[in-house]
Amino acid sequence: MDTVPLWVQILALCILILLSAFFSMTETALMAANRHRLRHLAKQGNRRAITILWLLERTERLLSLILIANTLINALATALVTAIAINTFGNHQRVITVATACVAGLLIIFAEIVPKVIGATYPERISLFTSFILKPLMRIAKPLIWFVNIFVSNILKLLRIKASARAQEQRLSPDELRSIVLEGGSFIPQKHKSILLNLFDLEKISVEDVMTPRHQVEALDLTEPIREIRQQLATCYHNKLPVYEGEINRIAGILHVRKTVALFNQEEEITHDDLRGLLSTPYFVPVETDVFTQLQYFQENHERLGVVVDEYGEVQGLVTLEDIIEEMIGEFTTSVPGSSRADSVGWDKEGSCLVEGSATLRDLNKRLGLQFPLDGPKTLNGLLLEYLQDIPEANVALKIAGCVIEIVQVQNQSIKMVKLIAPAQTTGGDGSSSNGKGKGLE
């Protein structure tokens, strides 16, 4: 070392520190790189992304190469600093101690912390830049990596630790995918984000949450006179109607209104038997069926409308393909009168609003930003009756989930109208209301 100029030794030390920083930064960048983004780039033909994925498929070899290189470089840097200190200041214990402390500080700051922070900040950019350097290095150092891994595998066997040759990729759970969508920020348009989040919720809700309740179902009674049936069909807002005989639990079939109108236009007198001949077989749906499964059933059975029944076979309501689609992408069908959905209400300037007792809790939570519990009753009327354990009189108020609820009208053993007062943290809307929509029928 006496024959080597001091500036050459210092230059060599700087190069060693830069090499150590390179491997530290590369290791952090590769481990922090977004696999999904890399796969997307690889499918587009990006050669560097393909190379990175090739390296990540051989994680054990890759880490062995980086750690071997880093260890050797740091050892050389320590030895070089010690030699420079001894040649410059003499062979004293204090000189060696100070030199060791200096090289440790240099390596910690410039070869570990700073490069790893940079690697974690720009993982994909650095990985794409360094991939073509690491791949040939891995091939060149293959014998050394193999030799080192022999000792590593034997030590792991002694410790009874089973390590797979290739790291198994962990699958993302629906909740993790939901978190990815929520953290997408400006990369995903708000409407697309809303649709994706609704898709994740389809398995968590049942058809009972999206169906048209029984008392809102428009149905046709075959025991009525033909004249009244004709009048009902003339004012019908739907293309299909469930048909029953005497009592709605006795569903006879589904009637296509357009076919019936064409039949009434004929000169011959229409009978009840003629109407029965137009009925199609009803499609029954258990009330506990989750929405995503029901969507698949609709597709497999080529159906668009199902009659929702409970465990006793009693009709609870109707669910249509449009109901499920609207649950994913929002309202889109034309408006018809007779709806009590929460999309027809909004907070006024005073932070209150009037809502029908038949409004569903899920719709109220969505439209008004409330936090009503969803694991019990489905409607506001059911929730209030569960809390009160009795059919109340008007002018009764209670507080649920931070929202003050004043009962305004009670009729026919049910709560017909209530007044909601917004919680303090709820931001009221503009108070505008939109026309309701009769859901559940085509």
Does the residue 75 lie in any domain?
Answer: yes
CA distance 386 to 382: 6
pTM over 0.85: no
Query: Between residues 285 and 57, which one has the greater pLDDT?
Result: 285
> Where in the sequence is the domain holding 414, given as residue range(s)?
342-421
Neighbouring residues of 376: CB distance < 8 A, sequence distance ≥ 6: 382, 383, 386
| 29 and 136 within one domain | yes
Q: Is the pLDDT of residue 340 over 50?
A: no
Task: Report strand pairing: 220-221 vs 240-245.
Answer: parallel
CA distance 315 to 318: 8
Q: What is the pLDDT of residue 163?
A: 60
Q: Where are the beta strands (DSSP E) in 140-261?
A: 212-213, 220-221, 240-245, 247-256
Does the residue 167 lie in any domain?
Answer: no
Does the residue 437 lie in any domain?
Answer: no
Query: Between residues 315 and 238, which one has the greater pLDDT?
Result: 315
Does the residue 227 lie in any domain?
Answer: yes
Neighbouring residues of 188: CB distance < 8 A, sequence distance ≥ 6: 181, 196
Neighbouring residues of 174: CB distance < 8 A, sequence distance ≥ 6: 200, 203
Q: What is the pLDDT of residue 1?
A: 54
CATH number, domain containing residue 401: 3.30.465.10
In the listed set 286, 303, 329, which residue is the last one of a domain according to the structure? 329
In the listed set 329, 360, 377, which residue is the last one of a domain according to the structure? 329
Q: Is the pLDDT of residue 190 over 80?
A: no
The count of domains in the chain is 3
| 359 and 224 within one domain | no
Q: What is the pLDDT of residue 186?
A: 64
Q: What is the pLDDT of residue 333?
A: 55
Instruction: Name the CA radius of gyration of the chain, rounded.
Output: 36
* 414 strand-pairing partners: 411
| pLDDT (tens digit per residue) in 22-54 | 999 999 998 888 887 888 888 888 888 888 888
For residue 303, the surrounding DSSP H or E stretch is none
What's the mean pLDDT in 356-373? 85
Query: Between residues 433 and 302, which one has the greater pLDDT?
Result: 302
| pLDDT (tens digit per residue) in 60-79 | 888 888 988 999 999 998 88
What's the mean pLDDT in 194-202? 79
Least Cα distance to 27 among 106, 133, 109, 102 occurs for 133
Query: Between residues 287 and 167, which one has the greater pLDDT?
Result: 287
| pLDDT (tens digit per residue) in 214-247 | 888 889 998 888 888 888 888 888 888 999 998 8
Q: What is the pLDDT of residue 440?
A: 32
Q: What's the whole-number average pLDDT of the chain? A: 82
In the listed set 158, 191, 222, which residue is the last one of a domain according to the structure? 158
Does the residue 175 lie in any domain?
Answer: no
Q: Is the pLDDT of residue 18 over 90?
A: yes
Tell me the CA end-to-end span of the chain in Å, nearest whole number: 90
| 50 and 136 within one domain | yes
Does the residue 91 lie in any domain?
Answer: yes
Structure confidence at residue 113 as a pLDDT band (50, 70, 90): very high
Q: What is the pLDDT of residue 369?
A: 84
Does the residue 174 lie in any domain?
Answer: no
Structure confidence at residue 164 as a pLDDT band (50, 70, 90): low
Torsion over CA of 7, 8, 14 and 16, rounded to 10 degrees? -160
| 408 and 287 within one domain | no
Q: Is the pLDDT of residue 152 over 70?
A: yes
Q: Is the pLDDT of residue 358 over 90?
A: no
Q: Is the pLDDT of residue 338 over 70?
A: no
Max CA distance (Å), the chain: 122
Q: What is the pLDDT of residue 435?
A: 35
Do 244 and 251 meet the contact criterion of CB atoms below 8 Å apart?
yes
Least Cα distance to 32 among 105, 158, 153, 118 occurs for 118
| pLDDT (tens digit per residue) in 413-437 | 888 888 898 887 554 444 443 333 3
Q: What is the pLDDT of residue 22?
A: 92
Question: Please, what sign has the CA dihedral across residues 384, 389, 393, 399?
Answer: negative
Q: What is the pLDDT of residue 242?
A: 92
| 145 and 88 within one domain | yes
| 149 and 213 within one domain | no
What is residue 108's DSSP assignment?
A: I
Q: What is the pLDDT of residue 19?
A: 92
Structure confidence at residue 135 as a pLDDT band (50, 70, 90): confident
Q: Which residue has the tokens 């249509």?
A: 320
| 16 and 138 within one domain | yes
Q: What is the pLDDT of residue 251?
A: 92
| 40 and 136 within one domain | yes
CATH number, domain containing residue 305: 3.10.580.10
Neighbouring residues of 434: CB distance < 8 A, sequence distance ≥ 6: 335, 343, 344
| 12 and 105 within one domain | yes
Q: What type of residue is 344?
A: S
| 258 and 234 within one domain | yes
| 145 and 64 within one domain | yes
Q: What is the pLDDT of residue 172?
A: 67
Q: What is the pLDDT of residue 118?
A: 92
Does the residue 187 lie in any domain?
Answer: no
| 226 and 145 within one domain | no
